[in-house]
Each structure stands twice: as C-alpha cells, then as structure tokens.
A = this chain, B = another copy of it.
Amino acid sequence: MSVTSPLGFDAAGIAAGIKASGAPDLALVVNRGPRQAAAAVFTSNRAKANPILWSEKVILDGQVAAIVLNSGGANCFTGPRGFQVTHQTAEAVGEALDVSAGDVLVCSTGLIGDQLDADVLVAGVHTATSVLSADGGDDAARAIMTTDSVPKTALVSGDGWSIGGMAKGAGMLAPGLATMLVVLTTDADVDAAGLDTALRAATRVTFDRLDSDGCMSTNDQVTLLASGASGVVPDAAAFTDAVTAVCRSLAEQLQADAEGASHNIAIEVVGAASEDDAVEVGRSVARNNLFKAAIFGNDPNWGRVLAAIGTTEAEFDPYAVDVSMNGVRVCHAGEPDAPRDAVDLTPRATHVLIELHSGDATATILTNDLTHDYVHENSAYSS
C-alpha cells in the first residue's frame, strides 16, 4: 500500500550518498499514464526552498511525468547555485525518462542552508531510474525519511480505482497551505483541475489542521498524480472523500511519529461562530508551550487552555466556555468543574474538548506535547 499500489506508477528509493549515514535518500515516482495529470499545494512560508520555486512553475500546466525527492538536505537558502542543483536534478530525470524536465517535480528535505552536490544527485537519479519498479513504493517511502522513525504510507480504494500515498515529516510540522513532503497517486481518470479541487479540499481539513510544533517548513509540498490507468472516471465527491481519507491517515501517522512526542492530542473545538474561529482557537491551544508541557506531565491544567483562547480574535465569552479532557469536564462556564485528579492523561491518545457556545461550527486540530525528548532531538544536532 503505497504510491505504486494504483495502476500506472513505478517508483524507486535508493541510497545516493547524500546522507552521510548511507541511508536511503533519493526517491523517484514515475507516472506511466496514459494520463499525466497533477495538482500540488505548497508551503505558504515566504522563505521558499529552491525545489519549491522550481515545482511551483512545473505544476502550472497540470502535466507531470515524474517527481524526484531527496532527503539529507533542504536546498533552501542556497542561492542561485542551489536553484541550479534543482534544475540539474530535473534535467537528469527528464533525460533518463525521455520526458521534458519541465514535467518533473522536485522535492528536498533536510537541513536548511547546506549546498547539495549536483553530481551526487544526478548519479542517484541514474541509479533510481535503473531500478524503477511497480513494486518500488515502499522503497520510495523509506528514502524520503529524515527524523521519521517509520515510513508512512496509505491506500484507499474506490469503485474501480484507488489512491495511494506516502509522507515524511516529524518536525517543523505546522502547515500554512500544505505540509511536509507527501506524494499521492491515483489510477482514476481525473484531469488536473479535478485533482486540484479534490486536493485542496482534502488538505484544508487534514494536513492544514496538523500543528505539532508551530514551526512552518520552507519545503512543504503535497502532490497528487493521476495516471488514468484504471480507465474509470470517479464520482467527484467520492474521489474527494478518498483523497481526504488518504490525507487523514498520513496526517495521523505524522502526528504519531512527531519528534519526541509522548501524547497525540486532538483538540476538538465545537460551538464556534465560524469554522475559522474554531481553527484559530484550536491552533492557539496547540501552540501554547505551557499547555503542551502540562500534557507531557499528565496535568489537566485547563487554565492554560483558557489563557491560550484569550489571545485569539474568535467570538467567545470567557465565562461561557466548557473544557473537557479525556471525557471529564474540568471547566464549566469559565469556572472549575470536576476535580483535576478525575482526569487520566496517561494514554498517548489525548482528547481536549472546547465548547465555546458561540455557534455551530467545529474543527479539530492535531498536535503533540512538549517533551524532554523534543528539546533533546532539536538541540543535540542540526536538522
């Protein structure tokens, strides 16, 4: 179950020598058609990596033959030379596959500010093209890992078609538009405009609501490639639902593998005046270090939840809010309710319910706790 599960796709994942460890670091996914339609969403960070600058141009005509991804270096803030490395990588894929470099997307992930070696990348592309296979999806998923501890893949089947996916990401998890590196493939027969609509609808309620550490990446990209190899034109709503299901599965896998985390926290906001309000409230809590540290300590410190909500512009009356943790209402109408020790926060899965009583809108934000291991992983070495 990965990007090669749908018909019409080959993939490879190899060790090109970008990572000093010798671990796999270059992935290639090729769309064999008959259709080569694509859509992508990119980070909204204004500091964009070179592969983002390149891929934003490639996607414009909705035609993509292949996507090449490397870990071991973000190729971000590496100047014109870094852009040239991205360009050379796409050219190498184009030559090897006999397609236009302008139909090749490039993604990179790793440390910001280090130059990649173009010769190593080009040699890696040649190796990857020589081992492309309809079973290569799992290798590809492994080759895009950075601080991930496990590869992340997903598969959802429709009526005669399917959607596969792979993702990487464990830190800098806070999307603006897209997040992390994600490649989705489908053999459904959908044109680029249809892919774009489905992908934006799906990412808006999945990756855009994952906010592990509040830090937005410079390299995020989510790509959806369609081969049309099933010959089936799907119902649009069913297709969007399937894309959303794949994205949700991958988002939950990213949350579960977030750097150093000991709790997966779902912050469910209900009774908001608007969906935007619900997202703003959920995100304010997800980004509050004191709340996140309290959850690490299994402390149902609801005062920190309310203090975070108070920093938003959302419509709410602080003295009407209810807060529950793992099913126990600890705050009712802005006052203490059940005693704190009635709450069991020892399970990894943590549910925080915030009832605003200001309307009917709702949203759930996924986040993680702030732990010693998070600090360790992000201070002990550069990433």
Contact B214 A297 (CB under 8 A): no
Which of B79, B287, B331, B378 makes the CB contact (< 8 A) with A335? B79
Residues in B with CB closer than 8 Å to A380 are 297
Which of B115, B302, B318, B381 makes the CB contact (< 8 A) with A46? B318
> Chain A: how many interface residues by the 8 Å CB criterion?
62
Integer count of this chain's copies in the complex: 2
Residues in B with CB closer than 8 Å to A375 are 293, 296, 370-372, 374-375
Contact B310 A378 (CB under 8 A): no
Contact A311 B48 (CB under 8 A): no
Residues in B with CB closer than 8 Å to A312 are 46
Which of B47, B217, B289, B306 makes the CB contact (< 8 A) with A77? B306
Query: Is A171 an interface position by the 8 A CB rule?
Result: yes
Contact B296 A218 (CB under 8 A): no
Bound: A290/B172 CA distance, A:
8
Closest to A212 in B: B289
Residues 325-383 of A at the B interface (beta carbon under 8 Å): 331, 333-336, 340, 370-372, 374-376, 378-382
Contacts A46-B318, A299-B382, A336-B114: A290 and B79 contacting too (C-beta < 8 A)? Answer: no
Bound: A310/B52 CA distance, A:
14
CB distance from A63 to the nearest CB of B (A): 28
Query: Is A176 an interface position by the 8 A CB rule?
Result: yes
Query: Is A85 an interface position by the 8 A CB rule?
Result: no
Residues in B with CB closer than 8 Å to A289 are 213-215, 289, 370, 374, 378
Query: Is A76 an interface position by the 8 A CB rule?
Result: yes
The 8 closest A-B pairs by CB, nearest first: A112-B303, A47-B310, A297-B379, A293-B378, A79-B335, A45-B310, A46-B310, A293-B379
**Could you list 7 A-B pairs, sorted by A, with CB under 8 Å?**
A47-B309, A77-B303, A112-B304, A113-B336, A214-B289, A299-B382, A372-B376
